[in-house]
Structure formats: structure tokens, C-alpha cells
Structure 1
């Protein structure tokens, strides 16, 4: 029972931080994501809500990386398996799998299915690397942490403007 309480406390804390970031309060923070074993960072203000991955309704004639439609408290979200979109194997569905609602701030009901959340990250704990010009603009920015691990930073606005991301039909 204590574990559920701790998880609820963490989710409440994270929701508060997301709200503060969206309103421009508090220090800059990033949210760490595990996507097919790779570290990704997203600005907390772009993070939106994080929910346990719900049951998804399938959609015919779409790319394999488009997982389906999720109903989150009466709102429908287009769900992209971010790992599969990147060309990796599909995200395994387990207790750690999360849905990150990324598009709400930008007027889109888009969501990313990710392996797990890695918590809040402080930008001052990362060193910038040279941009990866071979990668799409929404994921070119790279950083290393104090352990030498390489992280990519997701530019949500640019991802939502990417024709390849928005064109789900085959």
C-alpha cells in the first residue's frame, strides 16, 4: 500500500511541476524518457500529462508505428509508438510503459508511447554535443550527462510539424 501512496505522491509532484513549467514558473527542467533503451529529454513545459498506457483502439491502413487511438478521460489521442517511429522494435507493453500527451499545448491531441519515464532532469547536469545533422530537426540536439551517456532532446513543436509524423496513413 505504501508503494501506491509513493507513486501517487510522485505523480502529484510531477503534475505540479508540469503545471508550473507550463505557466513559466519554477526553474528549467527536462523530463527524461527511455525510448528503446535510448535516453530522450523533453522540456517539462512541452511534456504534457503522463498516464499509464491505456487500451488502444486500432486504426486500419496506418503505418506500423501508429499504435491507435487512446481515450484519456473522454478525450481521444492519436498514439505513436515513438520507438517504432524511430525505426526500433515496437515498445513492449508492461507496467513501465507510459503515454506522454505531447500535443495539447500545441493544439494537437498527439501522444507518444514510451518504454518508461526516467524522471526530472536538470539542464545544468548536461553538456551540449554537436548537433546530429543526419537526424530530423526535432531530434538533432544532443547532450551528455555526468556519466557520459548520450541523450537526444525532443523538440515537440518541430515533431508535430513533421509531415512524416503527421501522415499516419499508408
Structure 2
């Protein structure tokens, strides 16, 4: 009986040592809410469009020119059997489009019956920010013509203005394409 007690005490001792050396559970950390969007460039400025507002990204397609349209209307392209008007977003805002054609992309927007492609200088990939770092004011460097479509900004290495394509396609100025 004395031996069984010793064995039991030995097991208790081993159990106690194991518990003291065991790693604890990881701390419960609160994850910051993330914000993601499509980064793009117009001229020297960086913008980010909310993920849910861009349906597709295309290389610059060949367009059929539309007579009687404003200069910023590039034309119309065929996207899998669907006609896609292509608008030069840089020209709409009074900028020059980059001469580097290989970098140009089209952001396809399909919102409330408006199906349109926005030609921009370059797509800069997915951009992720902390929601807490969103500054609601557009900032002093926003141009007056672009400002109605800016919903805030993030700052990370440079200023990323949050551009809303949905706000743009609801604008009467943007929808007025005839000369």
C-alpha cells in the first residue's frame, strides 16, 4: 500500500510539473476591421475604389468611336456580347491619360442599370487598410472636380483617396455624354 501511494504521489508530481511548463492559450486579441479596395492611379494621384463597386478589371479594349460624343467618351467595346461604353476617366476630370498603354486598365462598373468601363492609367492591385484609419474628409489635395466622388482617404506611404464609382455613375455630369 505504501508503494501505491508513492506511485500516486509520483503521478501527481509529474502532473504538476507538466502543468507548470505547459504553454498557455493565446491571448484573445480583437481583430481590427479591415477595409479593402482596388487601388488605381490617375495621373500622379492614387485612388482606391471600394471592393463592391468594381465588377471587373480589363485591359484596354479596342473601341468603336461614337460620333457626337464628348471627348472623354472613348467609344464602345464588346464585352462577351454585351456593349460596354468606355469612358476616359482622366479626360473627364481634365487630366491627360498616361502615354504608357500597357499599364492602362478599364474598371467595369455595373450599377443600377448603368454598365460602363472607366479607363484609368494603372491598377495598383488590392489595397487593404484598417477601417479606423479612414479619414472622412477628402483632404486639401483633392481637386474640385473629383471631390464629389471622394468618400475619404487613407494615408499609407502616400495618400489614397477613396473614390466611389457608384457616385460617379449617378452623376448627371457623367451621364451627359452627348456634345
Q: Which residue of 2 aligns with 1:82?
A: 89
8 Å contact kept, 2:168–2:174: yes
Scaled by the length of structure 2, what TM-score is found? 0.70
Q: Which residue of 1 aligns with 2:78?
A: 71
123-132 or 46-55, larger mean C-alpha shift: 123-132
Alignment of 1:118 with 2:124, yes or no, is yes
Q: Distance in 2 between matches of 1:81 and 1:101?
A: 12
Deviations 1:113-138, CA, capped at 9 Å, x for gaps: 01111011113185416235945564
Written as runs of structure 1 = structure 2, the 5 A alignment for 1:16-165 is: 28-92=35-99, 94-102=101-109, 104-124=110-130, 126-128=133-135, 130-131=137-138, 134-135=144-145, 138-147=148-157, 149-165=158-174
Question: Which aligned segments of 4 or more residues in structure 1 are displaced greater than 2 angstroms?
Answer: 90-93, 129-142
Scaled by the length of structure 1, what TM-score is found? 0.74
Greater share of residues in strand:
2
Q: Secondary structure at the match of 1:71?
A: strand
Residue ranges of structure 1 left out of the alignment (5+ in a row):
1-26
8 Å contact kept, 1:40–1:154: yes
Q: Distance in 1 between matches of 2:165 and 2:81?
A: 23
Q: Distance in 2 between matches of 1:121 and 1:151?
A: 9
User: How far has the Cα of 1:73 moved from its partner?
Assistant: 1.3
8 Å contact kept, 1:91–1:113: no
Query: Cα RMSD over matched residues?
Result: 2.2
Q: Which residue of 1 aligns with 2:19?
A: none
Q: Secondary structure at the match of 1:122?
A: strand
Q: How many residues align?
A: 142
User: How far has the Cα of 1:108 moved from its partner?
Assistant: 1.3
Greater relative contact order (Cα < 8 A, sep 6+): 2
How has the CA–CA distance of structure 1 residues 93 and 76 changed in structure 2, closer, same or farther, with 3 Å as cutoff? farther
8 Å contact kept, 2:57–2:105: yes
Residue ranges of structure 2 left out of the alignment (5+ in a row):
1-33
